[in-house]
Structure 1
Amino acid sequence: MSVTVFKRKMSGLVRRSKSVYQFASVALLSSLPNRCQLCQHRVEQLDYQRLFPNQVLSGICQVCLAASLYQHEVCLGCGREISQLQAYCGKCLKHTPMLVVAPCSYHQGLGPLIAAIKYQQQCAPINAITQQLATRVSQLIEHKLIRAPQVLVPVPLHPNRLRERGFNQAWLIAHRLSQLLGIPIDDGSLTRMVDTAPQADLSGKQRRKNCRNAFSLSAHFPYQRIALIDDVVTTGTTVEEIARLFTQQHVYVQTWCLARAEAPGLLD
């Protein structure tokens, strides 16, 4: 048998093995106990795998997921409701803030799940919500409202926080997005130098002071367009501080997250 024929046969075997593995993984995960963390009902796959082949819905049921997603178009600048698919509302057009892409509002259903990912290690819903984020990103790219980045950059944790928590949820989201969208990850160029206090209970002024000079970026970053990846964007203090470093190197920045926490009163 020639080397070429052998390689061809081995390549086919590997492809079939991957296919069998994916099928077995889906079948196994589908059979495990799986409860929605919002309504506590059993998560049924129904037509989810038809919409997203080889994906298993876990941690959240289709009803709760569908109800929590944006039911209208939103401004990618501030998050307010807008009447048609476009990047910015009239107010944001005047100063074109950094684009923030999210599939839902933190305040309208998924907030408890996203908080539980970070603080309680309840990671089951990450895949399903990240799938919705990937779908939203693809829609915006298709309509030329955003440009596809060259690389995904997860917001880093300080080594102390990483040891304490055991994982970086932003990296998990970026890894899944990389698989879904085929965009590589750079998780070595951006580092968190300061072990900042948790942002949750801080005012906007305190958040800005807390994040100032907390990050460091490699001097010769090799990309021109990136997407910063995080679990939730609230005041935007963290991503704006990071974006400042990239802008100094003439790198275009947008932010992708599982949910955004809009300013008080914006959704009223």
Structure 2
Amino acid sequence: MANALPWRLWWLQARALLLGSLPNRCLVCHQQVTEGTGICGFCLDACCYQGPVCLGCGRSLDAEFGFCAPCRILNALPVVAGASYHRGLGHAVAAIKYQGQFAAIEPLCRRLASRVQQLRQARLIRPVSLLLPVPLHPTRLRQRGFNQAYEIAKELSRQTGIAVAPDLLGRCRNTPPQAGLDGRARRRNLQQAFVINGVCSAGSVALVDDVVTTGSTASAIATLLEAQGVSVQVWCLARAEAPGLLDEAVQGSMAAGSR
């Protein structure tokens, strides 16, 4: 186990060199990418949100309101995502975490940063002064060799100029993976799993992760930060919203037009 990290890093570096010597192919359609890396512009446009969505649950909205009525009542945590995980991006985003395939990070961060800017101009989210990557437990970090949330935060920092604090948050319990758990089990799994290493001096921060599903991880961390008076929002490459939420507004508009 002591040699797991060096071998893992060596394998990732060797893989990166090999991939770098191959033609740049889109991770979605596999056609050659002539500009940028990882995902071609056509697939990026197709996979990203085509209209306003609720920052709380991901539901399609008829206009850019920020939150749907139920999420506004619940004072939901704002989650900003550039795209839906279910509309063709699942494989590319999962490859970041499980295969160390970072080619999709730059174009997806670019779309995420554009979405953040759009929402800020509409005054639907606050400006943030610090990026906080969702932490991994040290054991998981040694096994994987990297924290995908930190890799994403570094690229977002490069594109936006916002500083990253990689060590402010810590994971003090090595919890089982969240995949396959329902919302209640996810929340129970994350109880007392995180810690803030000191005091967060930023008034407004963005938690950074690859994917948000139920938001349990972000909510658990946000509770700790909000106890210090910090305003929290979440930035992720893709959102895995509940099935059907993206289609409800479209279906509702079609039904209204048929009456």
TM-score range for the pair, normalised by the shorter chain length:
0.7 to 0.9
Question: Within 2, Cα distance between the matches of 1:119 and 1:31?
Answer: 21
Match of 1:158 among 137, 142, 163: 137
* Higher RCO (Cα < 8 Å, 6 or more apart): 2
Question: Within 1, Cα distance between the matches of 2:201 and 2:89?
Answer: 35
SS of the equivalent of 1:74 reads coil
Matches within 5 A, 1:99-110: 99-110=78-89
Amino acid in the other structure paired with 2:27 = Q
Q: Report what 1:207 is aligned to.
A: 186
Structure 1: give runs of 5+ residues left out of the alignment.
1-28, 46-56
What is the number of equivalent residue pairs in this alignment? 229
Structure 2 length as normaliser, TM-score? 0.84
Amino acid in the other structure paired with 1:38 = V
Q: Report what 2:119 is aligned to.
A: 140
Deviation at 1:86, TM superposition (A): 2.2
Deviation at 1:235, TM superposition (A): 0.6
Match of 1:91 among 70, 83, 87: 70
Q: Report what 1:188 is aligned to.
A: 167
Q: Relative to structure 2, which stretch is displaced further, 170-179 or 87-96? A: 87-96
Match of 1:235 among 187, 190, 214: 214
Cα RMSD between the aligned structures?
Answer: 1.6
Q: Report what 1:178 is aligned to.
A: 157
Question: Within 2, Cα distance between the matches of 1:135 and 1:145?
Answer: 14
Q: Report what 1:44 is aligned to.
A: 34
Deviation at 1:265, TM superposition (A): 3.1
Deviation at 1:207, TM superposition (A): 1.0
* Bigger Rg over Cα: 1
Question: Within 1, Cα distance between the matches of 2:198 and 2:100?
Answer: 34
Structure 1 length as normaliser, TM-score? 0.82
Question: Within 1, Cα distance between the matches of 2:67 and 2:210?
Answer: 22
Question: Within 1, Cα distance between the matches of 2:160 and 2:210?
Answer: 17
Q: Report what 2:4 is aligned to.
A: none
Question: Within 1, Cα distance between the matches of 2:182 and 2:80?
Answer: 23
Deviation at 1:142, TM superposition (A): 1.5
Q: Percent identity?
A: 52
Amino acid in the other structure paired with 2:172 = M
Amino acid in the other structure paired with 1:223 = A
SS of the equivalent of 2:83 reads coil
Structure 2: give runs of 5+ residues left out of the alignment.
1-18, 248-259
